[in-house]
Amino acid sequence: MEADLAIVGAGLAGAALARAARGLRLALVAEEAVAPAPAAQGFDSRVYAITPGNAAFLESLGAWPAARATPVRAMRVSGDAGAALELDAYRAGVGELAWIVEDGALQTALRGPLEFAGRLEGLAIDTDRARLLLRGGRTLEARLVVGADGAQSLVRAQAGIGCDDAAYPQRAVVANFACERAHRGTAYQWFQGGPVLALLPLPGNHVSMVWSTAADECARLLALDAEALCRTVADASGHVLGELGLVTPARAFALRRLAARRTVAPRVALVGDAAHVVHPLAGQGANLGLQDARVLAAVLAAREPGRDPGDARLLRRYARARAGEVAAMDATVHGLYRLFGAQARSCAFLRNAGLNLTDRLPVIKNLLIRQAMA
């Protein structure tokens, strides 16, 4: 088999790139395992906060699950000493700050029309092409290979790209709840001197919880029965949404920080978690991956007639276009994690004073909103 572009991995970034990379002979190297859409009365416990820019990108691909997307009209951020920051779409003159979308609905919308070539077993890079060994002994030749195969990327490893990878001493506990009071499209976040609790709006009077906390506290939360977990979350959130009822059982995910030392190599480019993984406190991991797909698809579409899609100059354009934004987001999120996790009294003063000061400066708030909408 031959292809201009072989995308390894069919997660959000890989599937989005497969839908966006038009005019190329494409092979999607992944197992055909489409996530089912949530039942009408059920919810995925894993959700994404998708920026308006990425929502527009997905809609342009015909892959926006509008029926399962909930707009975030406002955000309330609380510090650990009474500080607060409120962001409001209406006051900023925008339609919404973000959209909350369930994993299953988005995966199904993206993967629906795609064809899968099977699992990657090995990769060899030559001067003019890459050779991919697929399960079952089949081979595929491609001009460009895109590693969209996650944090444990085989493409990254076989291309000889190193990475800096470290686990955070936290896990993310996720679950969904029915709430007594209407959320009115508001997302809530509480910094708790290390742990970070977020409640994100879902269709109807439902919210999705993401609670990043230490491993021992994670184990305690997972061991609680439904009633005790609801009471614990309601207490931690100050009963802002009244009483809670558990809809999906709690699950936990390990948290890590990963940065590939390069995002391109001869005949290879990395997107999504294969290139970078950030702490979820800002909800930007999925957005960075989708932005990778947007930029790489645009670079390939704008290449000069006859130019090889794996040409090193094209790949450098992609790498340069993504380097600054990804580095800035990683530094910002990691910096917030360290600042809000620091126990020193001076750090507590700074982080809470910063929240309060930002809340009193509409120009700065609007700037934050505009930057976060890409």
- The CATH number given to whatever domain includes residue 322 is 3.50.50.60
In this structure, the answer to whether residues 223 and 337 fall within a common structural domain is no
In this structure, the answer to whether residues 327 and 361 fall within a common structural domain is no
Q: What is the dihedral sign for C-alpha 31, 37, 39, 43?
A: positive
Look at residue 39 and tell me if it is in a domain.
Answer: no
Tell me which residue has tokens 């962001």.
87
Look at residue 107 and tell me if it is in a domain.
Answer: no
Q: Which domain holds residue 18?
A: 1-34+112-162+261-341
In this structure, the answer to whether residues 326 and 352 fall within a common structural domain is no
**52-60 helix and 285-301 helix, angle to the nearest 10 degrees:** 50
**Average pLDDT for the chain:** 91
Which residue, among 242, 237, 240, 234, has the nearest Cα to 190 in the 3D structure?
237
In this structure, the answer to whether residues 96 and 221 fall within a common structural domain is yes
Cα–Cα distances in Å, from 174 out to 169, 179, 209, 222?
17, 16, 5, 10
Position 283 scores a pLDDT of 84
User: What's the CA gap between 306 and 73, in Å, rounded?
Assistant: 46
In this structure, the answer to whether residues 321 and 239 fall within a common structural domain is no
Position 26 scores a pLDDT of 96
In this structure, the answer to whether residues 97 and 190 fall within a common structural domain is yes
Instruction: Give per-residue pLDDT as tens, 267-309.
Output: 999 999 999 999 998 888 999 999 999 999 999 999 988 899 9
Instruction: Give per-residue pLDDT as tens, 170-227.
Output: 999 999 999 999 999 999 999 898 899 999 999 999 999 999 999 999 999 999 999 9
In this structure, the answer to whether residues 178 and 232 fall within a common structural domain is yes
In this structure, the answer to whether residues 172 and 308 fall within a common structural domain is no
User: What's the CA gap between 53 and 309, in Å, rounded?
Assistant: 25
* Sheet with strand 186-191: strands edge to edge: 84-88, 74-78, 186-191, 196-202, 206-214, 163-179, 244-260, 276-277
In this structure, the answer to whether residues 192 and 88 fall within a common structural domain is yes
Total domains in the chain come to 2
Q: Give the angle 101-64-330 at the CA atoms, nearest 5°.
A: 55
Position 338 scores a pLDDT of 82
User: What's the CA gap between 109 and 101, in Å, rounded?
Assistant: 11
Q: Average pLDDT across each block of 10 residues of the chain; the chain has 374 residues. List them in order.
A: 94 97 94 56 85 96 94 91 84 90 93 91 94 94 97 97 96 96 96 92 95 96 98 97 96 96 98 96 91 98 92 97 94 84 69 69 62 66
Look at residue 278 and tell me if it is in a domain.
Answer: yes
In this structure, the answer to whether residues 75 and 207 fall within a common structural domain is yes
Are 292 and 277 within 8 A, CB to CB? no
In this structure, the answer to whether residues 78 and 173 fall within a common structural domain is yes
Position 39 scores a pLDDT of 47
